[in-house]
Amino acid sequence: GQNIDQPTEMTATEGAIVQINCTYQTSGFNGLFWYQQHAGEAPTFLSYNVLDGLEEKGRFSSFLSRSKGYSYLLLKELQMKDSASYLCAVRRNNAGNMLTFGGGTRLMVKP
């Protein structure tokens, strides 16, 4: 079966750095996505990794290690508006390239 694990909740301080981890066990791995979701809203795309290494995009970076089945999302210079849920999703090429989501990590940024 497919298994994607993330911490349920995290708290961090405005201006700080936070790392949200995601571990996965899946067949047909074909890329890992991170999405941000504010309460009651649709998820929005943040980042995509398919090869090992770090992808940087402004304040957000995402890392992937395929051999370890591990990814993290790094958020720098945290702002209050970063308070949201962060969803890790794995794409599987043996299942119509659909995305399988983890349970999400609820991040609270405090002043």
Partner 1 sequence: DGGITQSPKYLFRKEGQNVTLSCEQNLNHDAMYWYRQDPGQGLRLIYYSQIVNDFQKGDIAEGYSVSREKKESFPLTVTSAQKNPTAFYLCASTKGTPGRTEAFFGQGTRLTVV
How far is CA 90 from its chain centroid? 10
Q: Should residue 69 be labelled a site residue for partner 1 when binding is judged by CB under 8 A?
A: no
The contact mask relative to partner 1 for 18-47 (x = CB under 8 A, - = no) is ------------xx-x------xxxxxx--
Is the separation of the CB atoms in 32 and 71 below 8 Å? yes
Q: What totals of helices (H) and strands (E) does the chain contain, helices first? A: 0, 11
Interface residue with partner 1, options 12, 22, 61, 102 (CB under 8 A): 102
| Rounded Cα distance, 19 and 28, in Å | 26
Q: Should residue 16 be labelled a site residue for partner 1 when binding is judged by CB under 8 A?
A: no
- List residues near partner 1 by CB under 8 A: 4, 8, 30-31, 33, 40-45, 48, 50, 87, 89, 96-104, 106
